[in-house]
Structure 1
Amino acid sequence: MLIPAGAAAWFLPLVLPICFYVAFTDMREMRIKNHAVMALAVVFVIVGLFVLPPWSTGATAGRVGPLTWSMPVYFWQLMHIPVVLIAGIVLNAAGVMGAGDAKFLAAASPFVWLGDLLLLAAVLTACVLAAVITHRLAKNSKLRSFAPHWDSWDRGKQFPMGFALAGALAMYLILGTVYGS
């Protein structure tokens, strides 16, 4: 994994409660709250300044089309937010995903290193499968009586993707803490 293990270890205890909250509110209300998305972005902006300090790390060269420029890793990671947000807005407009999912993905994107995208795809796939199976089993069992008024139980084919997305981010950071560079 390319994410630094030290960075993942610093991010994890602050991101994990936000992930739990996002999963819970998305199952309960079928919405990801804006304040949770903002909190996730703020965690990276503030903690990232100390974990990936732009003033002490060297600049990394990057290319976007014909343009090449150098920036510290912290700023490259922050550049993920507008790119993922624009992609999420397009996917939301096409009806592929909810607006909360798009915003959550954008806020979570700076925590993910580009070299780890294949691993993240595998983690996300596993989390989506596990979340769908867990949600459907709970929905059709006596566990439903613990939270009988959750919106996600009665939405037909709609699924609270925040449950899977938050789990994937948490799992990525846990793996980064253990196996990171």
Structure 2
Amino acid sequence: MLTLTTGAALWFLIATAPVAFLSAFNDLKRMKLPNGLVMALAAIYVITAPFFLSFDQYLWGFAHGVIMYGVGMFLFMFAGVGAGDGKFAAAMSMFIPVADVMPVLMVFCAYLLGAFAAHRLLRSIPAVRRATPDWVSWGHNKFPMGLALAGTLLTYFALAAFTG
């Protein structure tokens, strides 16, 4: 059972979906997660979360963001994770209560494996490559993790909204 309320999860799902889709698209096309999209995700939290979360939970979201930013930058420096991925994960983490971290990590692991397999499969299909010839991710050695991060965020909100 996820701790985010149904109303909060549904609102966050609707509000963050455009940002998540644009982030995944940008990462696929350019291998970049623009700061503007990260800031938009954080702004959605800052502006709308007080209407849906308790004050304590709202404030803890900022702590989650700071901690995840530190983790993301560590992974950027030492593990080859993109800086944009770390910043996007930090903005995402603001929405996730501590009690939901393990289920979210399980969803992320599933998305990471599935998105990696799908990306590698699709880039090997000539018709897909011809349809998207300017996508940098097809020829890049690294994986566009924004795809998995965006999917994780939206799936978490959907699970909290429709199973809670």
Partner of 2:58: 74
Q: 2: distance between equivalents of 1:91 and 1:117? A: 18
Tell whether the 8 Å contact from 2:57 to 2:97 is kept in structure 1 after alignment: no
TM-score normalised by L of structure 1: 0.86
1:89-108 matches, within 5 Å, as 89-108=73-92
Report percent identity of matched pairs.
38
Q: 2: distance between equivalents of 1:138 and 1:2? A: 36
Q: Counting helix residues as a fraction of each chain, which structure ranks higher?
A: 2
Q: 2: distance between equivalents of 1:77 and 1:95? A: 25
Q: 2: distance between equivalents of 1:153 and 1:97? A: 17
Structure 1, unpaired ranges of 5+: 55-71
Cα RMSD for the two superposed structures: 1.1
Change in CA separation of 1:53 and 1:122 when aligned onto 2, cut-off 3 Å: closer
Partner of 2:136: 151
Q: 2: distance between equivalents of 1:76 and 1:117? A: 13
1:100-128, Cα deviation, whole Å (9 max, x unpaired): 01000000001111111121111111111
Q: Counting strand residues as a fraction of each chain, which structure ranks higher?
A: 1
Structure 2, unpaired ranges of 5+: none
Partner of 2:41: 40
Q: 2: distance between equivalents of 1:90 and 1:129? A: 22
Measured after TM superposition, the shift of residue 136 of structure 1 is 1.2
Partner of 2:18: 17
TM-score normalised by L of structure 2: 0.94
Partner of 2:124: 140
